[in-house]
Amino acid sequence: MLPRYLLRETLSLYLLGVLLFVGLITFDLLSSLSGAFLRARTPVSEIATLVAYRVPHTLGIALPLGLVFALLVALARWIRQSELKAAYAAGVPPIRFIAPVLLLSALVGGVVFLNEGWIKPIAQERFEALQYKIYYGSEPSGVLTDRTYAPQGLGVYYAQRIYPNPQGQEGSRLEGLRVVEPDGSIWSAELGSWVNGAWRLENAYRVDPSGRIHLESSHPLPFPVGVQPKGVSYEAMRLPELSAVARADPAAAFPLARRYANAVGTVVLAWLAAVIGLSLREAAWAFIAVVGLIFGYWTLFTFSAQLARFDLWSAYGAWLPNLVYGGLALLGTWRLAR
């Protein structure tokens, strides 16, 4: 009965918490882009469209943080009105409130994962295109960097740099090539060329699924005429596409791991929030806990991105905030169970 009562209290505050964080994040977005809006004399309709495209990204942050807010505010009210103390006096152990919170956070985490994998990338691609238009008007020509292709039935093609066709010559120069064929074979080459219907790899080596390595001085790989790369970030790739890209582009491994870590982080954050809320004796500390939890998680979140930037911990760094907060939640749960 009491665990269900806690869930009802939490859900009644959850929408307020989500709207609070959506408002804060949206205000921050508008503030950061206000200069560009004024310089480009952006119409209000385009600004509204840009904000709408950003909503899935905003919800990816607001859904977990809103749950933390709702849990700690609900428990603060219980502490202030001595309901939590009465429950403990009646012999209800604090540990009984943890399982319902984990169940609720798992449901929210499932929504976050769906949003991270499919909904947010669609909106993010449109957001980036409109933002680029506001800043620059159109995509500049020249050297393309970190471009990934996934031609139907041909695997994944990745080039670190693609140089435009030299005047009077046919084909583009390629650097930093990596191709994953449908059977799992991986081609790698430092240099190559892009001519109609093929990528030609120079001094390439191929690692087949069994692990054997084959060297070739020049090898063409079929590539459909007219296929163009998407000039979008990893955030704008849907989960299956990003998973395929990560097989050819090592830099995509961290964004891919972060998608899963963000969904799991919803559960970890709510778990630690519940543990802290159930351990408090003064209601005022609940509001301090909201700020502390969010600030601490965000610090670890940005720190893990820096680790990935300098190729430390690779994709495992995406799980750093969850490992730290999960360890604290386990320790707190053990103390509540004693």
The least confident of 189-193, 232-236, 316-320 is 232-236
Confidence category of residue 167, pLDDT binned at 50, 70, 90: low
CA distance 49 to 121: 16
What is the pLDDT at residue 69? 97
Whether the Cβ atoms of residue 162 and residue 183 lie closer than 8 Å to each other: no
Amino acid at 239: L
Angle at CA of residue 141, ends 118 and 187, nearest 5°: 60
Share the mean pLDDT of the chain.
Answer: 90
Element (H, E) at 193: strand 186-195
Whether the Cβ atoms of residue 143 and residue 132 lie closer than 8 Å to each other: no
* Three-class secondary structure of residue 104 per DSSP: helix
What is the pLDDT at residue 137? 64
pLDDT digits (tens, 9 = 90+) for 7-61: 999 999 999 999 999 999 999 999 999 988 988 889 999 999 999 999 999 999 9
The least confident of 7-21, 36-50, 220-234, 279-293 is 220-234
CA distance 194 to 221: 10
Element (H, E) at 100: helix 98-114
pLDDT digits (tens, 9 = 90+) for 58-93: 999 999 999 999 999 999 999 999 888 888 888 889
- Please give the DSSP secondary-structure letter assigned to residue 321: H
CA distance 321 to 334: 20
Whether the Cβ atoms of residue 63 and residue 266 lie closer than 8 Å to each other: yes
Token pair in block for residue 171: 């084909």
Whether the Cβ atoms of residue 188 and residue 205 lie closer than 8 Å to each other: yes
* DSSP code string of 244-260: HHHHH-GGGHHHHHHHH
Instruction: Say yes or no to pLDDT of 311 above 90.
Output: no
Integer angstrom CA distances of residue 76 from 73, 240, 241, 297, 311: 5, 42, 44, 21, 42
* Three-class secondary structure of residue 153 per DSSP: coil
Contacts of 63 (CB under 8 A, 6+ apart): 18, 108, 111, 112, 115, 266
What is the pLDDT at residue 234? 87
Work out the number of other CB atoms within 10 angstroms of the CB of residue 262: 23
The percentage of the chain sitting over the pLDDT mark of 90, rounded to a whole number, equals 62
* DSSP code string of 40-78: HT--HHHHHHHHHHHHHHHHHHHHHHHHHHHHHHHHHHH
Instruction: Say yes or no to pLDDT of 170 above 80.
Output: no
Work out the number of other CB atoms within 10 angstroms of the CB of residue 133: 15
